[in-house]
Amino acid sequence: MRGLVVLVTLACFANAQHQALIDYLERRLLAIEVRRKQCDPLSMCRHSATAHLCHLLLKQDRISLWHEQTTRYASELRELKQQMVSQLENLDKEKEALRMNLDGMGTRVDRVERELDYLETQNGAQPCVDVDDKLIEQQVTLVKEKQKAKYSKLSDCSYMISSIKAMKILKRVGGPKGTWTKDTSRASGKVYIFNGTDEDTIHEFATIQDFTRSLGLSVSKKLNLPSSWAGTGHVVYNNHAYYISQGEEIMVVKYDMRNGSVTDSAVFPVQDHVPVYGLTPETVMDLAVDEEGLWAIYATRQNERHISLAKMDASSVDIEQMWDTNCPRENAEAAFVICGTLYVVYNTKQPGRSRIQCVFDVNDMVTNEDAPLIYFPKRYGAHSSLKYNPQEQLLYAWDDGYQILYKLIMKKKLEI
Ligand SMILES: *[C@@H]1O[C@H](CO)[C@@H](O)[C@H](O)[C@H]1NC(C)=O
Ligand SMILES: *[C@@H]1O[C@H](CO)[C@@H](O)[C@H](O)[C@H]1NC(C)=O
């Protein structure tokens, strides 16, 4: 009977099979009874003188025995039916879970679809002026190629933070607040130190090793900016420093590190700036570099409680697009951008453990629910800056004068 129960448990995964199995069991029960009849003990009475009496007695015994056996089988069958019913109920629950999973998958597919729609609209229409066929062909190929580039770009950069794998303290130079970063372009290995929140001298080291072995900032190569920076919102990208300068208005200045000249500058086209992070008042505006290029993280009085984000063109310092995020300014300490997703790091006034507690994805593929709540390892004071390097997938952090590296582990955005 046990073997049968297992068999039934395994086989019973559909309603139609359910009835068929009960029929089958009933047939088996019948067969057993027939077999019992065939090896009937009445044959023992064949040679007995009192054959008739023997028959009667045995028949009585046999009847009660069969009665007993039948009752037992019937109750076993009842048990089996109950087990099947509960199995079927479980199956229904599993079906429901599966359906919900499929729904979730559907929304994710929808998001990707929306993203693709958006990309298509970004590529603009084909030209419809009266030019010769060859030119049109060229244009079409160009559009197609552009499209391909955008798509492959999207697929290249579709990851998000999974966790912080390790932390390394490299040095302690300068004051409690500042920024340090490597040039976030492939070729350069140079390291730049922006000590303080209101200075005009950048310290350059040829490599990370040179920096860690150095006796301090006095031995660095010094680059003097034409104006002082405000806060800790600077980046170094493709041999250029981009920094925020605050006069009457907020300026983004692009400075060529190779020949020490200002290549470009632009007034950030937003009025009524407020410091972007609640816990880092010196930083009016922050800049970030990721796989997609240059970003500005800022806040205005019009949307005072939340952080805003803008995509910038790194060559012209123009604004390409702007977003109001759902990430609060209150208790924000720093932020960075990875793969088009803004990660805001929060702390408390009495510095505790910093944590990534709000994300905003311009591609709408990562929501706060998808993003893990990530705590930073032990630290000293407050992060005055966190700069992401897309080539190394490292965060360059300045924490109370310590220069720290955080190694990140990434995962695909849609893997939850
Ligand atoms: C670094 O900046 C701090 C102010 O934040 C200043 O006191 C200190 O002298 C600076 N150090 C160097 C080496 O410039
Ligand atoms: C500095 O270099 C850039 C590009 O290499 C060039 O466009 C610019 O004119 C140079 N500026 C000066 C002052 O030499």
Say if residue 148's pLDDT is above 80.
no
pLDDT band at 146 (very low <50, low <70, confident <90, very high): very low
Alpha helix (H) ranges present in 123-158?
133-156
Joined tokens for residue 253 = 């200045």
pLDDT at 184: 84
**pLDDT confidence tier of residue 10, bands split at 50, 70 and 90:** very low
pLDDT tens by residue, 339-391 = 999 999 999 888 788 999 999 999 888 888 888 899 998 777 889 999 999 99
Position 4 scores a pLDDT of 41
Task: List pLDDT tens digits, range 70-98.
Answer: 677 677 777 777 777 777 777 777 777 76
What is the atom index within ligand 1 of the atom nearest the CA of 199?
A: 2
> Contact at 8 Å (CB) between 271 and 242?
no
Identify the weakest region by mean pLDDT among 99-103, 185-189, 220-224, 342-346: 99-103
The pLDDT of residue 108 is: 59
The per-residue pLDDT for 369 is 85
For residue 229, which phi and psi values (nearest 5 degrees)? -85, 160
Q: Which ligand is nearest to the CA of 217?
A: 1
Q: Which residue's entry shows tokens 């920024």?
A: 179
Instruction: Categorize the per-residue pLDDT at 156 as very low, low, confident or very high, splitting at 50, 70 and 90.
Output: low
**Strand 159-172 vs strand 178-182: parallel, antiparallel, or unpaired?**
unpaired
Q: How confident is the model at residue 49 (pLDDT cuts 50, 70, 90)?
A: low
Atom of ligand 1 nearest to the CA of 197: 5
Residue 302 has pLDDT above 90, yes or no: yes
How far CA 261 is from CA of 51, 108, 246, 252, 334, in Å, comes to 126, 47, 19, 14, 29
Which has the closest alpha carbon to 306: 335, 321, 291, 328?
Answer: 328
Sorted by where each starts, the structural domains of the chain and their CATH numbers stand as 155-412 (2.115.10)
In degrees rounded to 5, what are phi and psi of residue 208? -60, -40
pLDDT at 395 exceeding the cut of 70: yes
Is the distance from CB of 334 to CB of 345 less than 8 angstroms?
yes
Taking residues 293-313, report their average pLDDT: 96
Q: How far apart are CA 40 and CA 100, in angstroms?
A: 58
Question: How confident is the model at residue 66, as a pLDDT?
Answer: 66
**Distance of CA 250 from the midpoint of ligand 2 (Å):** 24
Residue 130 corresponds to which tokens in the numbers above?
């009266």
Whether pLDDT at 123 is above 50: no
- Sorting pLDDT into bands at 50, 70 and 90, what band is 107? low
Q: Per-residue pLDDT averaged across 164-185, rounded?
A: 93
Q: How remote is the C-alpha of 143 from its chain's centroid?
A: 31
Question: Does residue 217's CB lie within 6 angstroms of at least one atom of ligand 1?
Answer: yes
User: Is residue 195 lining ligand 1, measured as CB closer than 6 Å?
Assistant: yes
What pLDDT sits at residue 414? 76
- Higher-pLDDT residue of 208, 149: 208
Whose structure tokens read 């010769």?
A: 132
Residue 158 pLDDT grade (very low, low, confident, very high; cuts 50, 70, 90): confident
Crossing angle of the two packed helices 51-122 and 15-38, in degrees rounded to 10: 160
Candidate from 171, 172, 180, 195 with most ligand 1 atoms within 8 A of CB, to mutate:
195
State the average pLDDT for the chain: 79
Angle at 192 between CA 189 and CA 284, to 5 degrees: 130
Q: How confident is the model at residue 14 (pLDDT cuts 50, 70, 90)?
A: very low
Which ligand lies nearest to the CA atom of residue 315 in the structure? 2
Find the mean pLDDT for residues 229-247.
95
Determine the Cα–Cα distance for residues 192 and 181; give it in Å rounded to an integer. Answer: 5
- Greatest distance between any 2 Cα atoms in the chain: 131
Q: Is the CB of 398 under 6 A from ligand 1?
A: no
Rounded mean pLDDT of 304-326?
96
User: Residue 301: its pLDDT value, please?
Assistant: 94
The secondary structure of residue 324, as a DSSP letter, is: E
pLDDT exceeds 50 at position 136: no
Which residue of 261, 262, 316 sits with most ligand 2 atoms within 8 Å of its CB, as the best mutation to test the pocket?
261
Which ligand has the shortest distance to the CA of 255?
A: 2
The yes-or-no verdict on residue 104 having pLDDT over 80 is no
CB count in 10 Å sphere of residue 76: 15
- Alpha carbon of 276 to those of 91, 271, 284, 285, 316: distances in Å? 52, 13, 6, 6, 23
Global pTM reads: 0.66
**Quick one: pLDDT at residue 386?**
97
Residue 361 burial (CB count, 10 A): 23
Residue 22 has pLDDT above 80, yes or no: no
**Ligand 2 mean position to 265 CA, how many Å?**
14
Q: What pLDDT sits at residue 102?
A: 61
Supply the pLDDT for residue 83: 76
